Chain A
Amino acid sequence: MADSLNAHFLTRKIHSLLGLVPVGAFLVFHLWENSQARFGAEHFNEHVVEGIAVALNYKVIVELTLACAILAHGIYGLVIWWQSKPNITQYHYGANYRYYLQRVTSLTTFAFIIWHVYHTRIMVELDEEVARDLFTHMQRLYADPWIIVLYVIGIVGATFHLANGLWLAGITWGVTTHPRAQRISAAACGAVFLLLTTIGFHSIYGFKYPYEGEDQPGHADVIGDPTASDLDQHRST
């Protein structure tokens, strides 16, 4: 009778775990890195894009692992979505709305990620110019206000799904068992949601309005910023 290692149970647990690590952890890192867009093209291309490429050993393996984790979490998430019959029109409770939003954001975020990975990651492999200057590529995209709308939906969906997923994981793994614990964790997860969303919006803002003098691609190279000229002098001596 003790059919203990049940595939269904383990699949659900792995689904939950994948959502936290590596997918959720990556989202936090990703939003943080991209919020540095505010420092301009040079900083972004050299310290963020190149920085990660240099600092990260086995980048291909890391990226493939991440892609597999996102796909596994997303595809099994579709199975879970398929089993739900939302009833928010009849039962107007906070947790019921969040239950519904968790499913809605799973779909919007999954679709967004596929599109987002194509035009920011796969494009880098296809187009040399994008590979050379991802910052300008992003700026060109953001010139279209509809792209910004899509990014806002993508960011809010992803941060909500992660923050609410944290709240859910607290319950399903048995950390927050009682109503009071769940109220406290709801407040904490709400704060996580606001913080991550702010960081995410800051990166859009950064691409639109980088610090003065670096708002045009290659501009810093022409007039040179103090750090760059210092380095040049240092090299020439």
Chain B
Amino acid sequence: MSSEIKFKIKRQDGPNNSPYWEEFAMPYAPSHNVVSALMYLREHPINTRGERVRPVVWDCNCMEEVCGACTMLINGVPKQSCAALVDDLAQPIVLEPLTKFPVVRDLQVDRSRMFDALRMTKAWVPIDGTYDIHVHAPIIDPKVQQERYEFSRCMTCGCCMEACPQYHPDSAFVGPAPLGQVYLHNAHPTGRFFRDDRLHSIMGEGGLTDCGNAQNCVQVCPKNIPLTTAIGGLGRQTTMQMFKDIFMK
């Protein structure tokens, strides 16, 4: 067992600065995760050349892999740093910010484009209205419920976008996660009333048709959400919607 934990971190001083690499080493202790190791480095911000440097900046929040804030590239793989155990990782552990979002500082990125996409696709169930949406709580088949539960676990972490060859700063594509949410909310007993609106929102530029079916999203999703099933299902829904729009007016 190594007596040290070595890190190689891609750093960037600000949104408009150029990135650079810096290496760190800290004494080994069992059961570290990447966030707890970064916390140690924050207390001891000394690089391998012995220079005292500005502590590494990163985002984190829940520490139990449900918020998605601490997502970064760890040894080239997009994942949550709170759930990445140091003992499982090859060293030096290479940390990089997600490449598909603008870097704020070091490992911290601006993920607001993902939340804009959720807004654009109306990935919610409207409950305010001038009418009763339903009288009693809707009954859902437990099997169907189980299927949809998978999609409700999406934490908008950005792993699927990071791995998607169609998603990058120059493309308008909303990415896989919001499509999963459209699929979920279209299947919801109340959400389905706004199905047409949601489908129309993904039938324009940057919508479903911009998916190239490389299917990396479903491979890297930390919650194993069947994103490609959502994309296939929405393929059917938008095709039917197209015929509906053309012929049923």
Contacts from A to B (Cβ < 8 Å): 1-6, 8-10, 12-13, 80, 83-87, 90-91, 93, 95-96, 98-100, 102, 168, 171-179, 181-182
Given A80-B212, A95-B214, A171-B235, 8 more contacts at CB 8 Å?
A: A4-B245, A8-B204, A84-B166, A91-B220, A99-B165, A177-B235, A178-B232, A182-B232
Pair A2/B242 contact, Cβ less than 8 Å = no
Indicate if B240 sits at the interface (CB-CB under 8 A). Answer: yes
* Size bracket of the B interface: 35 or more
Pair A1/B235 contact, Cβ less than 8 Å = no
Give the contact stretch, choosing among B8-16, B86-94, B110-118, B223-231: B223-231
Contacts of B235 in A (CB 8 A): 171-174, 177
Indicate if B126 sits at the interface (CB-CB under 8 A). Answer: no
Give the contact stretch, choosing among B30-38, B42-50, B62-70, B195-203: B195-203
Shortest B113–chain A CB gap in Å is 15
Tell me the nearest residue of chain A to B220, going by C-beta: A91
If the complex has contacts A1-B197, A99-B212, are A174 and B238 also in contact, measured as CB distance less than 8 A?
yes
Pair B232/A174 contact, Cβ less than 8 Å = yes
Contacts of A87 in B (CB 8 A): 163, 165, 216
Interface string of B112-141 (1 = CB under 8 A from A): 000000000000000000000000000000
If the complex has contacts A93-B215, A174-B235, A178-B232, are A9 and B165 also in contact, measured as CB distance less than 8 A?
no
Q: How many residue-residue contacts, CB under 8 A, span A and B?
A: 116
For chain B, what secondary structure do more than half of its interface residues adopt (helix, strand, loop), or is it mixed? Answer: helix
B212 contacts which of A3, A84, A90, A177 (Cβ < 8 Å)?
A84
Pair A3/B232 contact, Cβ less than 8 Å = no
Pair B196/A91 contact, Cβ less than 8 Å = no
Shortest A210–chain B CB gap in Å is 42
Contacts from B to A (Cβ < 8 Å): 76, 163, 165-166, 168, 170-171, 173, 196-197, 200, 203-205, 207, 209-216, 219-220, 226, 228-229, 231-242, 245-246
Pair A3/B204 contact, Cβ less than 8 Å = yes
Pair B209/A12 contact, Cβ less than 8 Å = yes
Contacts of A80 in B (CB 8 A): 212
Q: Which of A100, A177, A178 has the most CB of B within 10 A?
A: A177
Pair A8/B232 contact, Cβ less than 8 Å = no
A200 to B211, CA, bound (A): 31
Q: Which of A5, A86, A96, A173 has the most CB of B within 10 A?
A: A96
Contacts of A8 in B (CB 8 A): 203-205, 207, 209
Contacts of B173 in A (CB 8 A): 83
Contacts of A175 in B (CB 8 A): 236
Contacts of A85 in B (CB 8 A): 165-166, 168, 171
Pair B215/A1 contact, Cβ less than 8 Å = no
If the complex has contacts A1-B197, A91-B219, A174-B232, are A83 and B210 also in contact, measured as CB distance less than 8 A?
yes
A173 to B220, CA, bound (A): 25
Tell me the nearest residue of chain A to B173, going by C-beta: A83
Contacts of B237 in A (CB 8 A): 174
Contacts of A98 in B (CB 8 A): 214
Q: Which of B212, B234, B235, B241 has the most CB of A within 10 A?
A: B212
Tell me the nearest residue of chain A to B172, going by C-beta: A83
Pair A84/B200 contact, Cβ less than 8 Å = no
Shortest B6–chain A CB gap in Å is 22
Shortest A164–chain B CB gap in Å is 9
A172 to B231, CA, bound (A): 8
Contacts of B213 in A (CB 8 A): 95, 99, 168, 171-172
Contacts of A102 in B (CB 8 A): 212
Tell me the nearest residue of chain B to A91, going by C-beta: B216
If the complex has contacts A8-B204, A95-B215, are A174 and B233 also in contact, measured as CB distance less than 8 A?
yes
Shortest A103–chain B CB gap in Å is 8
